[in-house]
Amino acid sequence: MKRTIKLRSITEAKDFVALVSQFPEKMQLCGDETMVDAKSIMGLFCFDLAKPILLQIDADEERGREICQALGSFIEGRDKEELS
């Protein structure tokens, strides 16, 4: 499952990493030529936080939706509409 996220500050970035770290599923942040562990604060800072970032969640559909619900405040745009 892939979703677009937006982190508006360093505090949000820290909160995002803390939240995704609570899940055992593998999650990655993907850029044009970069893919990093979503649970790594250092990896996260490879990205420009002013731009949306693609989050890839390795989980089945049901579990992916549960994770997305938990991450709702970070999910951006059309992906956020699907959570409703």
Q: Average pLDDT for consecutive 10-residue bins of the chain (84 residues)?
A: 93 96 97 92 91 95 94 82 59
The CATH number assigned to the domain with range 2-81 reads 3.30.1340.10
pLDDT of residue 32: 83
Question: How many residues can be counted in the chain?
Answer: 84
Contact present, 3 and 78 (Cβ < 8 Å): no
Does the predicted TM-score (pTM) go above 0.85? yes
- The owner of tokens 């850029």 is 31
